[in-house]
Amino acid sequence: MFSALKRFFRFCNQTDRRKLYQAIGLGVIKAIFAALRITAIAVITKGIIEGEMKREYIIAALAILGVSILGQFCISLKTTMLQCEAGYHSCCNKRIEIAEHMRYLPMGYFNDNSLGHITSVTTNTMEALADIATRVVMVTTQGIITTLVITGFVFAFDRRIGLILLAGIGVYTAVNTAMQYKTRKGAPLQQKANRALVAAVIEFIQGIAEVKNYNLTKSRAKKLEQAISAKQYGDTHLEFDVIPYITLQEIVTKLTGVLMCAASVYFYVQGSMQLLYCIMMTISAFMIYESLDVMAGFSALIRSVSICVDQANEILSIPEMDIEGENITPKNHDIEMKHVTFAYENKTIINGIDLKIPEKTTTAIVGPSGGGKTTLTSLMARFWDVKSGAVTLGGRNVKDYSFDSLMQNFSFVFQKVYLFEDTVANNIRFGEPDAPMEKVINAAKKACCHDFIMNLPDGYDTVIGEGGASLSGGEKQRISIARAIMKDAPVIILDEATANVDPENEAELTKAIEALTKEKTIIMIAHRLKTVEHADQIVVIDGGQIVQQGTHSELMHTDGIYRSFVESRRQAASWKISG
């Protein structure tokens, strides 16, 4: 239990940790105020025993009781505020810290971990931590503090009853330790089921079109139901695991209280304890029971808090790419790759590539699927770090740049566009949140999307669905291009940007790309002939190597992948259905 508490305190930042320590310190004072109730009752009891209820006894008892209640009330308000601030601020700051950390993780992390796992940790895990962590931690620590204060109080008046209480606390601690060990096995199963459920829900929703298309609604829904059932099993299994221990803890606390009361009465009858002390020990027994009983109900969740902390720390412990470079403004935007090799999970993807891309030229990258085209462009923008060799921009190794200054030189238009659940205007100005509306409209016009935006219900203020679900593929692509135009980066990487666009949208999209790429360094991955034949150079990638390189005319006079690629495309274009 104590190791889990320490782990949570270390998880919080220094400011929030200080607030938690203040709350614990105030908890000690609160426990002392709570113990004053025993003194108030002792004063009244003394008057009853003496057979004369003096006025000063009543006033003293009421005064002590009033101080006890008022002190606990004021401290409770303060500690609750400190707990809430520390807990929610810590989880809020950790979310931001995780998001910032993930910006600089190598892309391999996102390939190794499903979207469901990442989403679960950054949302459900942190939400659970914010909701239960501070309450669990503070209730548990308050229970420990109150127990220690009352134990000290009992020992001060009668060592024999103190030893009985100490023995009861020892048994209680042993049961609690056994419960923590049990939850150490069950909680990971619960968390794993939670991650799997999030992954299954995301997969089901994102793939619903394909599911319906192939009439797999029942089978895919069955997979989702299995994930839900696994989550239900994980939750109930953990509850069933800890219930016997919680019950046993309650029995131990009650028996401890009963033994304290019985021993006090026995010692009083024997004449070795005054009646006043006997009553005070009895009241202390009930207060100990109350303290330990509340703590028992929450201590079962301590392990879950510990696992939440471990999952967040797991992401934060992944080494970032070395991004602490200089803020460099390159003298030009020539890109060069020198003997570049890159491997992923011991599989070589790029193998000894040398390539020069002069500033303000267009380079088309073609080749079979899986040949390494996208990986090559990712290395240029340092989404990955090369295994050996070097990538330079403007004559400087990309590793010399700070990540942010490097990214200022690149804009991307991907085949799969992601738009955020926000207004059209905010999606366009995503990289420049404070950009004026005039600049947004100007970018939209250049990207040939102004007209269809104006036909939306609220124009630029229309909130589009998550991922741009309410727009067509071509419309999403043009908004993505408008976003890139707003950034106005000198190097544009187009990753099959027109691959899945219908003919009606293709003409508009081509105009948008022309507006985006004017006077820029263009690197395009493309499968369509007319998007590559006018490139300044064409690079053919196969098996992680450059197998051909030159202009369209040069490569057409050479037998190889490119000529086969062009001829197959021409044959496909001339194919007709005869009536």
Return the HEC string of 356-383.
EECCCCEEEEECCCCCCHHHHHHHHCCC
- The pLDDT, as a whole number, for residue 335 is 93
Report residue 497 as tokens: 């940007």
* Of residues 119, 109, 141, the one with CA closest to residue 4: 141
Would you say the C-alpha torsion 499, 500, 506, 509 has a positive or negative sign? negative
- The pLDDT, as a whole number, for residue 577 is 47
CB atoms within 10 A of CB 239: 13
Distance between CA atoms of 173 and 169, rounded to whole angstroms?
6
- The pLDDT, as a whole number, for residue 278 is 86
Which one-letter DSSP state was computed for residue 468? G
- The pLDDT, as a whole number, for residue 180 is 73
Report residue 173 as tokens: 């601690």
CA 250 to each of CA 171, 176, 299: distance values in angstroms, whole numbers, following the listed order: 11, 11, 12
Distance between CA atoms of 336 and 565, rounded to whole angstroms?
26
Report residue 306 CA to chain centroid gap.
16
- The pLDDT, as a whole number, for residue 284 is 83
- The pLDDT, as a whole number, for residue 254 is 84
Distance between CA atoms of 493 and 97, rounded to whole angstroms?
29
* DSSP state string for 502-570: -HHHHHHHHHHHHHHHTTSEEEEE---HHHHTT-SEEEEEETTEEEEEE-HHHHHTS-SHHHHHHHHHH
Q: Determine if the pTM surpasses 0.75.
A: no
CB atoms within 10 A of CB 74: 14
- The pLDDT, as a whole number, for residue 291 is 76
- The pLDDT, as a whole number, for residue 503 is 58
Report residue 298 as tokens: 């929450």
Q: Which residues in the chain show pLDDT less than 50? A: 577-579
- The pLDDT, as a whole number, for residue 334 is 92
Distance between CA atoms of 312 and 315, rounded to whole angstroms?
6
* Of residues 563, 552, 515, the one with CA closest to residue 530: 552
- Asked whether the beta carbons of 484 and 495 are under 8 A apart, the reply is no
Domain annotation for the chain: domains and CATH numbers? 2-316 (1.20.1560.10)
- The pLDDT, as a whole number, for residue 393 is 92
SS3 166: helix
- The pLDDT, as a whole number, for residue 336 is 93
* DSSP state string for 170-211: HHHHHHHHHHHHHHHHHHHHHHHHHHHHHHHHHHHHHTHHHH
